[in-house]
Structure 1
Amino acid sequence: MKKLDVKDLANFKLVGGLDIYRKKVAFTVSEINVKKDEYFSRIYLYDGRKAVQFTSGPKDSNPRFSPDGKLIAFTSKREKESKEAELYLIPTAGGEAKLLTRFKFGINNYEFSPDGKTLAVITQVELERKKKGEDVHLIKEVPFWFNGIGWVYGKRGHIYLVDVESGKKRKLTGGNLNVQTLKWSRDGTRIYFVAQEDREKQPRISDLFVINVKTKKVEKLTDSKWRISDFVPLDDETFILRMSTLERGGATNTHIYHFDPKTKKIKKLTAKLDRSAYNSLNCDVRGPSRNPLIYKDGWIYYIATNGPRANLFRVNLKGKIERVVRGDRSVETFGIGDYIAFIAQDATTPTELYILKDGKEKKVTAFNDWIEEYKLSEPEHFRVKVSDGMEIDAWIMKPVGFKEGKKYPAVLEIHGGPKTAYGYSFMHEFHVLAAKGFVVIFSNPRGSDGYGEDFADIREHYGERDYLDLMEVVDEAIKRFDFIDSERIGVTGGSYGGFMTNWIVGHTNRFKAAVTQRSISNWTSFFGTTDIGYFFAPDQIGGDPWSNTKGYWEKSPLKYAPNIETPLLIIHSMEDYRCWLPEALQFFTALRYLGKEVQLALFPAENHDLSRKGKPKHRMKRLELIVSWMEKW
């Protein structure tokens, strides 16, 4: 059988966001075209029997059925000369797609009105228009840019109403509100929406609002205490909210609540399951998907991360929780019609469409069956009881072609976040390393999602218990698996995993090589230059650079640069606004100045999501650099 290689990235089909009307499921399939160095996507339609390509592409996505199921709306970029986002309609029975309208700054979200005559669209709007030809950035607020988007200063998300027949659009909201998601009222006279009221001063807070479609009168329903990510309006004018109370800052789990705007009372419905109500598993070959919240027959359906699994759950208004789709896998998104349709993957099976009907599950697509021709290493789970008594989930992947009695080099992989998790989702990077002859070690140390708030809360303690967990996982792996060569172990990670890689090489020389990616090296520069730095750093490190100067420096890997003896490769994207370029430049400069073994690889026109959404050739080059660095050292 074949071994999975870097170039096999081109084989993956990324099955993504879906919508369902009765038996019909519309969903997106993206392909990675290395020759053209682009992604192409098309809408597919499953009719209860088979899935067929429904639109021609090349960049169609985000399908939505009209309320009567006769139309499918989707977003696209078909006009070659246009940089604007396009909104199309196509009859479900088939035929030509009709361009309805365009939006200059993209389409964030959209919903059909109950009568199907209007689409409510969220798009970015400039608060002050620049003069034609003006290239000077006059910035009056933070954040001024955002990863993957670019400049966001002077822009806000607002709602437009688009007539389905004529394509005429009317701006509904305005001002400083930054609208993030919306739902229509049942009678179509109002739109409920979630928005930030003050993105600069309260970047973590988002509230629930309602606007009258005719009068444009806006009413705020919540009290600026929570971060609401989604909601469902109920018939009794109460709401189901998916939100974080922020009681423990960024470590707070997102739960499902019942909210009454009249009394302002909330009830946590998912109190019995201390887990985040979304999918936080890492994967480098997934398609873009919505994270739905669906109310049906007295139950609220949602995805939650439970340890290394992301499963579909449901909860009723009394707080009873049931697992609907279970198993060692990652449920990416779902919809409910005559049955439940969902997209899922696991550690050796990339994304596919499944249906669940009458308790029986069926896989209905085979876009990634090519993987069956390859010999893959199945992750082997083990638990590590660390020095403070906590048990940590960990895994190893043996090298492909493993032979008893032989010693193998190993690579410790560290996830980002820190409040994400590794688990039963497909990681192309891990499989490539295993195919190249490395043992892959990965785990969910303190700070990870999926194990409760106490486990996740490492605020003000970066590089402490999380560092010990990782080192003790490596110790246990060496002890338990005698085929690991303890003298030949490398370490790599991205984002928080990059920070931790930097921290590790500044605190131990046990690793023979390291690759740090999209990392933080200096918390003070991170605070002042990045899209989330000015509120993320105070939450995670404590205080700000003026009130906690010592703490910011103590937790900065840059401080420990003189200690580093491990050969280090720094990989960074030049348009990474989450961990901006200076994080890599100053760390590289310091290490070169100090005479250390270090190289810097910079990827132009890429952002923080290089490993997941970067240009195909850049993604492949990144993997080649990681493999070659580990092989060299």
Structure 2
Amino acid sequence: MTAPAAGRRVVPGDLAALALTGAPDVAPDGTWAVAAVQRIDAAFTRYRGGLWRFGAAQEADRAAPPCPLTDEGPWSDTAPALSPDGGRVAFTSDRDGSSRLWLVPARGGRPALLDGAPEGRPAEYVWLDAERLLVRYARRPDGTSGPAPVVVDWLRYKSDGAPGPVEPLDTLWVLRPGPTGTLTEARPVHDGGTECRLGSLAPDGRGGVFYTAHPRHSDAPHPGGEVRRLDLASGADVPVWRCASEVRALAVTASGRPVALASGVAGHSVEPPRVWWADEGRRAFPAQDLECERALLADARALGAPRLLATAGERIVFAATVEGEVALYEGGPGDAAALRVSPRGRSLADFAVAADGTTAMCLESAVEPVELYLAGRRVSSFNTAWAREAAPVAPEDATATSADGLAVRGLLYRSPHARAGAGRGDVVLRVHGGPHMTYGNAFDIETQCLLAAGFHVLLPGVRGGAGLGTAFRALSVGSWGRGDLDDLTAFADLAVDTGLAAPDRLYLTGGSYGGYLTNWALTRTDRFRAAVSERSVANLVSKYGTSDNGFTTNRHEFGGADLYDADGAALLWERSPLAHAATVTTPLLLIHGESDQRCPIEQSEQFYAALRRRGHEAVLARYPGGSHGFATTGRPDHRLHRLRLILDWLREHAAGPGRTGPSQPAA
């Protein structure tokens, strides 16, 4: 197969050229929607965004062009929530310097701050009716803000992305805003106190709200969660379902039945979230092996937690990762199986559904940045001109056979900018994280930048990845550094055996678990010319106590190996790349956020120190304030710097002494 036709070269700065839709909500009659549209400013100093209105009918067969609902400025408006009568939109904005709750008329007008709102950050909000909002405010406990010392006396005190080890206090309030935003009622209805964190608010339309409760300040390795119902008039608070795992999302059918998203298995990383009837504690669609999560990796989506679960009447609507795409599924109480309702060939980034079943979907593909679709019709084209000019490259399927005979799938992107007349080219293998994440049909700037720099890109789907069923996910257990390395080797062999790559022109990158496999592979082979390891794992022993999930996820992934068991400790150390650092010969760039609590920066620091002590070529890039996901959600300037650093590192080592790099075609 020949390389695709080349557009203009995609560069890291194109992150600021995209306008990304997210957090949609649909009008009650299903004829229009509102969504947040997010951009990075040209100076890469911050994210900016406003609310837009889409699809208001002009004629029976034509929709009005999208129009701004809020004014643009040096702020970010996001998370719109339409009132049940379609008259007003509640949203979060930092336009006055902090995250606050605002209102704007749905047909346009001046945004109004909810004046007199309670202390704290509006973490979640839903409309109870056309006049009242139910809001969960999260506030820092007194005396815990700023750089003050913090004393902890509980086990689960770390959470990646949190501002610190102290968990916020949650309070539910009923607010009745007047026309100008001034509150005519502000009534506290529930306080999680020091006992639990509240979330996933789902009003039942009968004077009550279902919500999730998870323990605060917990010493339990697997504390699980609860679904509860609060009567807003009487204050009666009753348990509905006790779940062994975290409850990820909650929704309510028209008849008042609560539906939940949870794995149902304590602390286990292999078992994916499923849909449950929370009032009965049983799974919906139990015969289907659907992984109900967005496990598809990409770096060009609007910030914010995407919706995973909703209802339309008695129908359940949810997202699932299936064979390289995130799809929207729908099913009802009497259905044996839920059916896919989103189009094939595109992946779901976010969605909303009206009571009549009309959906708004934020969809993307490998060559199309995310756009909004309403009732199956595309209603935004923010990135069309950019995509036409840049002509992003589409992947082709690639399958390799591992050492144990397992067929593993991947994706191959051929660069239209590869060295002309050079024969075999340069191939970068990028390993997904998780290990229960995956690459697939999603738009990714980093991949397109590598292609523009002249590298072919191969995305190996090593065992344990998402979208191929629970049995495939389970193949990672006990196999770190064993079967997964064989899978990676099979893809490297495929690149060479098919003539795509010269044997000495292979490069390896990966993040999180992919960083672990990158580090491990370098202790086992010298076939890679250079490598990049991000937010990685090097010492499974120290990660056990320094990570927010080290004492749970890693224990399950290594078949129950415990640090305090002699055999378990020996296994964890033997599978740690740090234990074998002396064998590494490949130049390595390590990238890490300094506030990463999932794979703490000490992991890269230890590996870096071990390599430099031996005079090995290693570089460590540290990003202040960066969490585990900073590469896709962190400070824009840090994201830009990281992309440029990776490209420079690979180009430098591709060129080498007296050689021509892939981004500099030979004369």
Pair in the same fold by TM > 0.5:
yes
Match of 2:407 among 391, 404, 410: 391
1:144 partner SS: coil
* Separation (CA, whole Å) in 1 of partners of 2:330 and 2:313: 11
Q: Is the 8 A contact 2:307 2:352 kept in 1?
A: no
Change (3 A) 1:335 1:72: same
> Could you tell me which of 589, 593, 615 is aligned with 2:635?
615
Structure 2 partner of 1:124: 138
Deviation at 1:117, TM superposition (A): 2.8
Change (3 A) 1:415 1:106: farther
How far apart are the structure 1 equivalents of 2:609 and 2:453?
31
Confirm or deny that 1:255 pairs with 2:274: yes
Question: What secondary structure sits across from 2:241 in the alignment?
Answer: coil
Of residues 128, 147, 153, the one that matches 2:160 is 147
Corresponding residue for residue 296 of structure 2: 281
Taking the TM superposition and a 5 Å limit, the aligned residue runs for 1:471-550 are 471-480=489-498, 482-541=499-558, 542-547=560-565, 548-550=568-570
Q: Distance in 2 between matches of 1:468 and 1:133?
A: 48
Aligned pair partner of 2:481 in 463, 470, 473: 463
Task: Find the aligned partners of 2:145 and 2:459 in 1 and give their Cα distance.
Answer: 52
Q: Secondary structure at the match of 1:186?
A: coil
Tell me, in whole angstroms, the C-alpha distance in 2 between the residues paired with 1:466 and 1:214. Answer: 55
The answer for the alignment partner of 1:16 in structure 2 is: 22
- 1:30 and 2:50 are equivalent in the alignment: no
CA drift of 1:131 comes to: 7.7
Q: Deviations over 1:217-271 (max 9, x none)?
A: 32111134233212223355533222212178110021222243xxx451x3333
1:326 aligned to which of 336, 343, 351: 343
Once the two structures are superposed, residues 292-323 of structure 1 have per-residue CA deviations (whole angstroms, 9 ceiling, x without a partner) of 42322542111111110111111222323211
Aligned Cα root-mean-square deviation (Å): 2.2
Q: Report the secondary structure of 1:491's partner residue.
A: strand
- Deviation digits for residues 126-175 of structure 1 (CA, Å, limit 9, x no counterpart): 4x521898822122223334222221425344423323234335251222
- Of 62, 73, 91 in structure 1, the residue corresponding to residue 79 of structure 2 is 62
1:39 CA drift (Å): 0.6
2:9 match: 3
The answer as to whether partners of 2:401 and 2:487 remain within 8 angstroms in 1 is no
Contact 1:3 1:400 in 2 (8 A): no
User: Match for residue 295 of structure 1?
Assistant: 311
- Structure 1's unaligned 5+ residue stretches are none
State the partner residue of 1:186. 205
Question: What is the distance in 2 between the residues matched to 1:391 and 1:107?
Answer: 47
Instruction: Tell me whether 1:233 sits opposite 2:244 in the alignment.
Output: no
3-state SS of paired residue (1:325): coil
- 2:37 corresponds to which letter in structure 1? V
| CA spacing shift, 1:12–1:69, aligned 2, 3 Å | same
d(CA) in 1 for partners of 2:154, 2:130: 39
**Greater alpha carbon shift after TM alignment, 595-604 vs 222-231:** 222-231
Distance 1:236 1:348, change over 3 A: closer
**Does 1:244 find its partner at 2:250?**
no
- Per the alignment, residue 575 of structure 1 pairs with 595
CA drift of 1:478 comes to 2.1
Verify: 1:625 aligned to 2:645, yes or no: yes
Q: Is the 8 A contact 2:289 2:470 kept in 1?
A: yes
Partner deviation per Cα, 1:524-544 (whole Å, 9 max, x = no partner): 222222222232222223343
How far apart are residue 432 of structure 1 and its match?
A: 0.4
Residues 125, 155 of structure 1: 8 Å contact kept: yes
What is the TM-score when the length of structure 1 is the normalising length?
0.93
Amino acid at match of 1:136: P
Deviates more, 1:215-224 or 1:590-599: 215-224
Unaligned runs of 5+ residues in structure 2 are: 1-6, 58-62, 654-667
DSSP 3-state at the match of 2:242: coil
Residues 1:598 and 2:615 are matched in the alignment: no
CA gap of 1:628–1:69, structure 2 versus 1, over 3 A, is same
| Pairwise CA distance, 1:367 | 0.7
Contact conserved, 2:348 with 2:364, CA < 8 A, in 1? yes
Q: Percent identity?
A: 26
Deviation track 1:447-475 (CA, whole Å, cap 9, x = no partner) reads: 10111111112223212211211111221
Structure 1 residue 559: Cα displacement? 0.7
Change (3 A) 1:164 1:597: same
2:213 matched residue in structure 1: 195
Give the SS at the match of 1:222.
Answer: strand
Number of equivalenced pairs: 618
Tell me, in whole angstroms, the C-alpha distance in 2 between the residues paired with 1:199 and 1:538. 21
1:365 is aligned to: 380
Match of 1:99, as an amino acid?
A: L
